[in-house]
Amino acid sequence: MKRELRLNQLKTPENVVNIMLDLAGYYGEKILDKKVCNLCFGEGTILIEIIKRYIFEYNKKYGNLDGISSQITELISGVEIDKLMVTRAYSKINLLLKENSISAKINLKCCDALNYNNCCDYCFCFPPFEFIIEPSNFKEKIKSSRFKFDKKSYYIKFLLKAKQISKKVVFICPSDILSNQSGVEFLMSNVNNISRVHDLSSYDFYLKPTIALCLDFSKEDSVFSLCNDSYCLMANFVDFNQLKTVLIR
């Protein structure tokens, strides 16, 4: 059995990565000088796209990449509990930087994402779904969620952590995660921060039904409306009359 399957590590598809970044508005010149963190970055699929977008916008504005190394080091970070994934991510990211003649040291931390406390402008995450990994001895201490803990409550902890450290958050959310009491309570307490919801059920994705949920904590009020034909009603998770109408992209 492949190690990733044994540990239930799921790679975020590239098209879903782009959806996540677009939902948060991580594109255009406005991303320059903004701090971004990828919790549970795995092999670095999301981080690589973040760096690509930063390189593009920086070069577009300045006409060269002089000075970008220090910005990438300072502004872009990631957290992952699996040392092997960190090593793989480093290799892929360093290759991308080398291809663009950038000598930056990407800020990747090997630790439990729930212990990460640096503040940032954007946060992206596809948290552990079935298993919790103990940081003290990764290979030996894998605890099955079915017996050891409530996976839904554990998942909500990641939402709360992202809210604590970031202004804009985009999460991959399997549908049942937000349907229990703690999930409903989180949504209801942050209803004014829900800015975008994207239905991933039509994508070649591991978990169905699944959504990409964008929360914006940088402003107190959001304008709720329904738009476009690619949609997912949050009524699937909570009472639609209570939750109001969510802006859906």
Query: How do residues 155-187 score in pLDDT, each as one tens digit?
Result: 788 888 998 999 999 988 776 677 667 777 777
Q: How many Å apart are CA 55 and CA 40, to the nearest integer? A: 22
Q: Is it the case that residue 82 has pLDDT exceeding 90? A: no
Mean pLDDT value across residues 5-15: 63
Calculate the CA 3 to chain-centre distance: 22
Q: What stretches of the chain adopt beta strand conformation (E)?
A: 36-39, 76-80, 107-110, 120-125, 131-133, 142-144, 166-174, 194-199, 210-216
pLDDT, position 159? 85
Q: Is it the case that residue 123 has pLDDT exceeding 90? A: yes
pLDDT, position 173? 79
What's the Cα-to-Cα distance from 12 to each of 23, 40, 132, rounded to whole Å?
A: 15, 11, 18
pLDDT, position 205? 61
Q: How many Å apart are CA 93 and CA 153, to the nearest integer? A: 32
Assess contact for 75 and 35: CB atoms under 8 A: yes
Q: Pick from 25-29, 196-200, 204-208 the range whose average pLDDT is largest.
A: 25-29
- The tokens for 107 are 């800020």
pLDDT, position 128? 67
Using DSSP, state whether 100 is helix, strand or coil: coil
Global confidence as pTM: 0.80
Q: Which domains does the chain have, with CATH numbers?
A: 3-229 (3.40.50.150)
pLDDT, position 189? 78
Burial class (CB in 10 A: 0-12, 13-18, 19+), 26: buried
Q: Pick from 49-58, 76-85, 104-113 the range whose average pLDDT is largest.
A: 49-58
Assess contact for 26 and 109: CB atoms under 8 A: no
**Rounded-to-5 percentages of helix, strand, coil across the chain:** 40, 20, 40
Angle of helix 14-23 versus helix 45-62 axis, rounded to 10: 60
Mean pLDDT value across residues 104-120: 90
Contacts 24+ apart (CB under 8 A), 146-154: 151/177, 152/176, 152/177, 152/179, 152/180, 152/182, 152/183, 153/180, 153/182, 154/128
Phi, psi of 37 (to 5 degrees): -130, 140
**Model confidence band, residue 12 (pLDDT cutoffs 50, 70, 90):** confident
Q: Pick from 90-99, 143-152, 185-194 the range whose average pLDDT is largest.
A: 90-99
